[in-house]
Amino acid sequence: MKTIEISEELWERLKMCVVDPFDDTPELVINRLVDIVDKAKSVCSSWDEGEESVVVEAEEVSAEQGQQRSWNKQAEATL
């Protein structure tokens, strides 16, 4: 296992990506973000599907992030 150091600013940004404050570890959050990047790369590299599919995928990712932010606000209010 590798150890990394991150700035306080990045740590705060990672906390905004927490979906479940009881189960999400920093590794799970980073893994989720890498999955999103991988998905975005595969969409951008598949030109056969056309531009419309890229827009749909971007909207899905945006909706996912909105749900995560909403959950974070609820969790912060509870804690």
> Which pLDDT score, from 0 to 100, does residue 20 have?
87
Q: Tell me what pLDDT residue 72 has.
A: 56
CA distance 20 to 72: 8
pLDDT band (50, 70, 90) for residue 68:
low
Structural domain contains residue 1: no
Residue 21 has what pLDDT?
85
Q: Is residue 19 included in any domain, yes or no?
A: no
When divided into structural domains, the chain yields a total of: 1
Q: Which domain, by its residues, includes 54?
A: 50-79
Q: What confidence score (pLDDT) does residue 9 get?
A: 95
Residue at 68 is within a domain: yes
In a domain, 59, yes or no: yes
Residue 25 belongs to a domain: no
79 falls within a domain: yes
Q: How confident is the model at residue 42, as a pLDDT?
A: 84
Instruction: Read off the pTM.
Output: 0.51
Residue 70 lies in a domain: yes
Give the CA-trace dihedral at 56, 58, 64, 65, to 10 degrees. -160
The mean-pLDDT minimum among 16-20, 41-45, 49-53 falls in: 49-53
Residue 29 is assigned to a structural domain of this protein = no
